Each structure stands twice: as C-alpha cells, then as structure tokens.
Amino acid sequence: MDRGRVALRVIPGTLDSEETPAGAPMSLEAAFRRYSPYVAAIAIRLLGRDDDVDDVVQDVFLSAIKGISQLRDADAIKGWLATVTVRVARRKLQMRRFRSFLGLDQVPAYEAVVAPGANPEQKALLGRVYVALDALPVEQRIAWVLRFVEGEQLEDIARIAGCSLATAKRRIVAAQQQMERILSDE
C-alpha cells in the first residue's frame, strides 16, 4: 500500500477573500465562509462518504458559536476547527458502527470520495481502502486517515485527536497493520 496521500475529491466552496486584521477575532460568519470547505474536506475523508458531511459542518459551526469568541489568535481557528471536526466525525462514525451492528446502516457508496478524474482502478482501490477503514476501530481510523490521507504530522494528529503522541503512534501502527492485513486478504 502506498503510504502517500490518496487522491480524493475536493469539496467545492469559496474562500473568504477578506482578511481579519492581526489579533482581531474572526466573526462566525467569516469563519464559516472561509473554513467550511476545509471542515467538509476533513469530514468526507474521515467518514468516507458524503451523506453526513453537511451535518458535520453544521455541528462544527454550532460548536464554534460557543468557542470562536474565546480564540485570541485568528490563525488558531483552522486547527481548532479541525479538532472540533474530528470530535463530531468520531461521534458520527460511532453511531454508524452502532447502526451497522443493528443492521440499520445503508450499504456504503464511496465513489463520492474519489477525485472526478480518477480512473476505474483508482476508484476501486479507494473503495477497498474505505471498506477496510470501516473494519477499524474508530480511533484507529481517525489516526490513520489524518496521517495517510490528510498528511498530518504526528504531533498534529495527537493534538487534533485529543491524545498523547505515543497513543497517536500506537493507533497509526495498529491501523496500518490491520489495513495491510485486510487489503492483502482481498
């Protein structure tokens, strides 16, 4: 398995061109305009399908209503929103696992995650990867996706996932071993 980034579709959106003055707090509206495509991109990569992405974006910015005014540095908003996105996506993944256990979850369709120009082999591979990710524990899935799909550094994964650096490393290694085993069995 290639340890590089996986080609995924980019969520369309517009970035806010107005800049927030240095040190000035960003309004929730400006943060939404600027960062909602970023939040949606993380959500789709973590979830693997886009049926819950709109809900995740909405939930993240509902949480932002409470917390955004407490951030002193406008540059910290992006990282903070990534952390909130992971928390919300974690809950969605846990609920999806529970629904799947009860037989209430629909059959996943992962073609929404694939970049529009991807060839059939790339689409099939990405589908297999996300089916394998569905077999992982949620915490391992999040760490693996942040590392190998989002390309995050280990320290950032630990911060975003709310765990220690050692725990982040253990989750990534365990996920990688299980991913290799699952994908080699197919």
> Which residues, listed in sequence order, are joined to residue 8 by a DSSP beta bridge?
114
Report the largest interatomic distance among the alpha carbons of the chain, rounded to a whole angstrom: 54
Q: Where are the domains of the chain?
A: 28-185
Neighbours of 17 (CB within 10 A): 7
pLDDT digits (tens, 9 = 90+) for 161-173: 999 999 999 999 9
* Whether the Cβ atoms of residue 10 and residue 40 lie closer than 8 Å to each other: no
Range 4-13 average pLDDT: 38
Class of domain 28-185: mainly alpha
pLDDT digits (tens, 9 = 90+) for 80-119: 899 999 999 999 999 988 877 666 666 666 665 666 777 8
Average model confidence (pLDDT) across the chain: 80
Tell me the pLDDT band of 147, cut-offs 50, 70 and 90: very high
Q: Report pLDDT for 10.
A: 36
Taking 50 as the threshold, does the pLDDT of residue 8 lie above it? no
Q: Report pLDDT for 115.
A: 67
Q: What is the pTM of this model?
A: 0.76
Q: Report pLDDT for 77.
A: 85
Write down the residue that tokens 């080699």 correspond to.
Answer: 184
pLDDT digits (tens, 9 = 90+) for 55-91: 999 999 998 887 776 766 767 788 889 999 999 999 9
Range 145-157 average pLDDT: 94
Q: Report pLDDT for 24.
A: 55
DSSP string, 29-83: HHHHHHHHHHHHHHHHHHHSSTTTHHHHHHHHHHHHHHHGGG---TTHHHHHHHH
Q: Cα-flanking dihedrals φ and ψ of residue 176, to 5°?
A: -65, -40
Q: Report pLDDT for 156.
A: 95
